[in-house]
Amino acid sequence: MKRVHVLLSVFLLATAALFVSSCNSNTEEPRGEFSSGVFVVNEGNFGSANGTISYYNPVNNEVKQDIFGQANSGRALGDVVQSMTIEGDFAYVVVNNSNRVEVVNANTFKSVHTINDVKLPRYMVTHSGRGYVSEWVSFSESGGVSVINLADRSVQQHIITDFGAEGLIIQNNKLYVSNSFSNTVSVISLSSHEVIETIQVGQAPGQFVTDKDGKIWVLCGGSYDMDYAPLNDGAFYVINSGTDEVEKSIPLNANVSAKTAINKNKDIIYYFRGKSIYALPVTASAAPGEALITESDAVGFYSIGYDDEEELIYAGDSKGFTASGSVFRYHENGTSVNYFTSGIGPNEFIFK
C-alpha cells in the first residue's frame, strides 16, 4: 500500500527531523498529524458559520471532526465552507459566504493567514506560484476569477467571466471556468490572464474532470422552467482543449448535481442525483440506464470524490443538513466498503 509506505516514510523523515532538530535546538516542527489522509470539507448550515473540515484516516478508520477549530482554539472557518485546495505546505480553505480564503498549515491546520479580498469565492486551483479563485461576486453581477500571488497572498488581478463562476480546471496552459448561473465556460490564457474564448455548454455548468485522453468534461446540472418545474436537461459537455470546441455532449435526461469525479484510470466518470450514483464510461454516447449505486441509508448525496490510492468512490450524504453528514465509501463495482460521520453538509473530498 502506497499510503502505508508514505506513512512509513513520513515516520522515518520525522524521526530524522527530530534527530536533526534535537541537534538544532528544536527549531523545526514535526510535519503534523494531517500529513496524509482524507479531508472532508463540510459546508455547514447557511447562516450558521458551522462549516468544518473533518479528517479521515483510512488506515485505522479514525475520524476527527472540526480539525480547524481543534487546531485554532475553537475558531470557526466561517459561513458556507465550500472547498479546499492543498499546494505545498499550505491548504487554502475557500469560505463562500464569509468572502474569504483561510490559509492554514496543511499538516497541522493551524491558521496562517486570511485572504479577504474575494467575493463569494467557490473553488481554487494553483499554477506556477499563483492561486486562481472562482467567485460568484454577487447574484446580479458577472462572476470571475481572482489571481492570488501565493508568496505574499495578495490578490493581483480579477478576471471577469460570466454569472456564477464556479468550477476550475487547468489544461494546456489555459484555465477553464464554468459559469454556473449561465451556460458558458470561459477560457483564460494563463500567459495573458485574459479570457480568450467563451464556450457554450449546457445549463448550470459546475465541476470539471479531465479524461485519459486529456479531454475536459464539464457537468451541467440542468435548469427549471418558468413554473420551477425541472427541465431534466442535465448533461456532460466534452471540450477539446486544443481547439476549445465542444466535441460531444451526453444528455442525462434529469437535473443532477453538478459535482463529479473520475476514476484513477480516467475512463469512468461518476455523478449523482438524489441518493443514486451513476457511472459513465468516457467512451459512452448516452447516459447509463441504471444507477451504479442507490444508497438506502442516505437521505440525499451532496458530494462525490474518488481516491486514486485505494481506488474507492466517496459519496457524502448531507442528511438534509439537519444532522451530521455521512460519507459512504464504495468499490468501483458499487459494493459498499464502509461509511463514517462527517460534519454538516459534506461538500468535497481531498485526498492527501
Which residues make up the interface to other proteins (CB under 8 A)? 45, 47-50, 65-66, 69, 72-79, 95, 97-99, 221-222, 224, 227-230, 254-257, 273-276, 296-300, 302, 318-320, 322-324, 341, 343-344
Is the CB of 115 or the CB of 216 nearer to other proteins? 115
- Taking the complex as a whole, the smallest distance from the CB of residue 177 to other proteins amounts, in Å, to 23
Is the CB of 140 or the CB of 285 nearer to other proteins? 140
SS3 state at 278 = strand
Is the CB of 167 or the CB of 343 nearer to other proteins? 343
Instruction: Identify the helix (H) or strand (E) that includes residue 157.
Output: strand 154-160
Is the CB of 144 or the CB of 343 nearer to other proteins? 343
Is the CB of 39 or the CB of 351 nearer to other proteins? 39
- Taking the complex as a whole, the smallest distance from the CB of residue 314 to other proteins amounts, in Å, to 18
- Taking the complex as a whole, the smallest distance from the CB of residue 227 to other proteins amounts, in Å, to 6
Q: Which residues contact 84 (CB under 8 A, 6 or more apart)?
A: 39, 41, 53, 91, 92, 93, 94, 348, 350
Pairing mode, if any, of strands 52-57 and 62-64? antiparallel
Count how many Cα atoms sit within 13 Å of the Cα of residue 92 in the half-sphere of its side chain: 25
Is the CB of 216 or the CB of 261 nearer to other proteins? 261
Rounded Cα–Cα distance for residues 65 and 76 (Å): 12
Helices and strands (H and E) in the chain: how many:
2, 28
- Taking the complex as a whole, the smallest distance from the CB of residue 62 to other proteins amounts, in Å, to 16
Cβ neighbour number for residue 327 with a 10 Å cutoff: 23
- Which residue in the block uniquely carries the three cell numbers 482524507? 38
Query: Among 259, 282, 255, which residue's Cα sits nearest to residue 349?
Result: 259
Instruction: Identify the helix (H) or strand (E) that includes residue 70.
Output: helix 67-71
- Taking the complex as a whole, the smallest distance from the CB of residue 38 to other proteins amounts, in Å, to 19
- Taking the complex as a whole, the smallest distance from the CB of residue 100 to other proteins amounts, in Å, to 8
Is the CB of 152 or the CB of 227 nearer to other proteins? 227
Cell of 121: 469565492
- Taking the complex as a whole, the smallest distance from the CB of residue 217 to other proteins amounts, in Å, to 19
Q: Mind giving me the DSSP string for 316-334?
A: EE-GGGSS--EEEEEETTS
